[in-house]
Structure 1
Amino acid sequence: MKSYSFVLYFVIALLFSCSQNTEKVNELNEKATKLILENLNSIDEASHQEAIKLLDEALTLDPQNGKAYFSKHYALVRLGKYEEAITTLQNGIKNVKDFQVGDAQRQIGFVYDHMGEDGKAQDHYLSALQAYHLSTNELGNDRSDPKVIRTYTERAFTMMFTEEKNTGLNELISIVEETQDPNASYLLEVAKTDFNKKQYIKDYYGI
């Protein structure tokens, strides 16, 4: 699951990144992503360090490059640099207009959860839910709009990491029945299969 989970996240979630990328920045993002994806099944430190270096260069050229913040945090987590990964996402929230705040807050929650800091993790999951709620208010409820479907799906899945787990599961079921969205269908299968959030996070990062 770990390889597919990250690839799915990268392909779908980052499609909605609103960075004003130059050709050079896109090239750096692609090279870094390739290094990470090629090493999902084993953590090659040199490859991940090179990916981080490329992403730092991309962020220097374009601090609005939302994709780079997410990719950099992922590589840092795999190297065990948890605090730096959290700071990276916090910088994205601070620096990038129209950043995927809900996703970033949830990923920060993931990192804290993996670190065993459950209270901080829950705080960030709740912040993620608040961000998703604001987004759904802005986007409306047109279930033919991929961005709307994705936002409702990610909000429902985030609930799986909180005390609203049952509500999240029911919302995922409703979304899948209404839209047959492949991302929602995948996350529903994950949620239905004896869901363990700690194990999911380990699998997600491949650690």
Structure 2
Amino acid sequence: MKTVIIKYNAGNVQSVMYALDRLGISYLYTDEEEEIRSADKVIFPGVGEASTAMAYLKSKKLDQLIPSLTQPVLGTCVGMQLMCRYSEENNTTCMGIFDVDVQRFPVEPGMKVPHMGWNNIFDFKDPITAQIPTNAYVYFVHSYAAPVCAHTIATCEYIQPFSAMLHKDNFYAAQFHCEISGNIGEKILQNFLNM
């Protein structure tokens, strides 16, 4: 199996590599179109700011490549947000794979933004969450989120309910960091790689 991690200017890639190493999965870290198209599985990670990340994707034509992929693709954190239609973060038009807009968390007295730390996910609707117990805890770091929508396959609540995971066709996404979410995140990664 050929697994590719998409190379672009969004951090946390090392954590994804360590997670795949722990699972015994070999991978290629690249932004080359032929390598990405020929992969069996594609991981699109991300930490950072939406408009800067989208500008880099456009400079490499990855914004056109990623939506055209036909193999299973998993986006995480900012990767997930860039797969949506639009982000309120710096008024950013994204790739539009998921027909939903990413919104900043509303101001709520006593609630800090960004949403940072461990929180539980629930209301699972897809085999990628097989053998994950409801209300399992995963690790989040984000100020923006996709609301619950037709593509939502796992939900979390912070200030308000939001999409913890999305799925459409061959595209999967997680707002949390699978790679640093312990056994739960590792199991979700394994489920994705086993597809």
TM over 0.5, shorter chain = no
For the pair shown, which has the larger CA radius of gyration, 1 or 2? 1
- If the TM-score is normalised by the length of the shorter chain, which range does it land in? 0.3 to 0.5
Q: Give the TM-score normalised by structure 2.
A: 0.34
Higher helix share: 1
Higher strand share: 2
